[in-house]
Amino acid sequence: MACFRTSARLCRQFLFSNSPKTNLSAVYSPPRWMSTGKYEYIIVEKKGEKNNVGFIQLNRPKALNALCAGLMSELDQAVKSFETDNDVGCIVLTGSERAFAAGADIKEMQTKEFSEVWRGNFLSEWDSLSRCSKPVIAAVNGFALGGGCEVAMMCDIIYAGDKAQFGQPEITLGTIPGAGGTQRLCKAVGKSKAMEMVLTANRITAEEAEKAGLVSKVVPAVDLVNEAIKTAEKISSFSKIAAAMCKEAVNAGYEMSLKEGLHFEKRLFHASFASNDRREGMTAFAEKRPPQFTDS
């Protein structure tokens, strides 16, 4: 019953009127676009032939993109800006060729006390990336260590450059991963490999990460961002309603039993029949023409 209530709530969230006048602008408030110049630690642009890909590049090169509070706050703002931008269907997150992100900013953390991090629920704000309703692709070159590996795992798809390295070295600092390193990593690569990585601080290569299931594709470093943008453009060409439903179903099923997940999937599938895009997609298939999705 709880599963049904959850699926019903999500169905209501995604349902749109069958009226052709209904579109995403009637559901989302108009985006407040923030230019690249307003950010200190990241670069924000739109990419793709139709400017329908949100592009975020971590930009603290001297610190190997160490994840300080300011950077994570800006990342949260940029993701939310793209999430409410009706033109954007997918987001690409990347770093530099040398480092996606070498970890959290240790100098910023080293003087903190237990009471401060406990009361403030330190690092809880990092999870906002994983709650984005639009698909997010991490394009990882170079180091993705500690918090960098955790941020990559918050994304929906990970592409890696052939020189990328992944690791959770927190044990060398006398602590443990605090933003999903022991939880998402275990689900991605299995208990044994996750245990080895968090207990030894050993890094794995891009090829090893792909073999273990952490990464979906490995490409030459110079081609990585373009490959991620190409995939993001393809995702953006589909119905945003259907993409959001697909993401919701996969993420929910990741946390449920198979029986619960199948029920949840079925109800979202049923809900898709209330959208104009479902009708247009099937009609276009029957008429042997490309569909014209309106995100309604």
**Positions marked catalytic:** 104, 147, 150, 170
DSSP-derived secondary structure for 258-281: HHHHHHHHHHHHHHGGGSHHHHHH
Distance CA 156, CA 170 (A): 24
Q: Dig out the tokens for 82 from the structure.
A: 């793209």
Dihedrals phi, psi of 228, to nearest 5 degrees: -65, -40
In terms of Cβ atoms closer than 10 Å to its own Cβ (0-12, 13-18, 19+), residue 184 is: buried
Coil, strand or helix: which one is 101?
Answer: strand
Cβ-proximal residues to 201 (8 Å cutoff; 6+ apart), any chain: 167, 168, 169, 170, 171, 172
